[in-house]
Amino acid sequence: MFIGTYRHSIDEKNRMRVPPKFKVSLGSTFIITKGTGKNLYAFSKEQFDVLYNKLTNLPLFDEEAQKPIRKFLSSAFEAEEDGQGRILLPKELLSYAGINKNLVSVGVGSRIEIWAEEVWENNSNEEVDFNILGKLGV
């Protein structure tokens, strides 16, 4: 399970360090792809497989169902740490998320969300109605 918020930056070669608290659950090779709200999602390979299996149950010939699957899977890549514990983020994903230098990694249970720091600041300052969790039975 991923929880917590960590602030860090990418280097001049578009590499970032994965927060040590996240490394144990992510494993040495994991999947990063486009998320919602102009962020990136990082999944362990096991969690990504669970998600992938759910996606394969959607109707193959339903174009509306296939559009988001196509975007989600075509932007996914296997990230591997280099000898210094860094991962390379593709320019396409950095551009999508608006990440230039500073970023925020947020643990959200089954995944990590990677945000441009300024986008995260704007989103995290919004009021949230936690009553919805009670309506969901939490």
CATH code for position 81: 3.40.1550.20
- How far is Cα 76 from Cα 73, in angstroms, rounded to an integer? 5
pLDDT, position 115: 97
pLDDT, position 126: 74
pLDDT, position 43: 97
Look up the domain containing 72 and give its range. 2-135
Cβ atoms within 10 Å of 76's Cβ, excluding its own: 17
pLDDT, position 1: 92
Q: Domain tally for the chain?
A: 1
The answer to whether 26 and 87 are in contact (CB under 8 A) is: no
pLDDT, position 138: 65
Q: Which residues of the chain have pLDDT under 70?
A: 138
CA quadruple 19, 103, 81, 28: dihedral, nearest 10: 50
Mode of pairing for the β-strands spanning 40-44 and 29-34: antiparallel
Q: What is the pTM of this model?
A: 0.89
User: H or E element: which one contains 32?
Assistant: strand 29-34
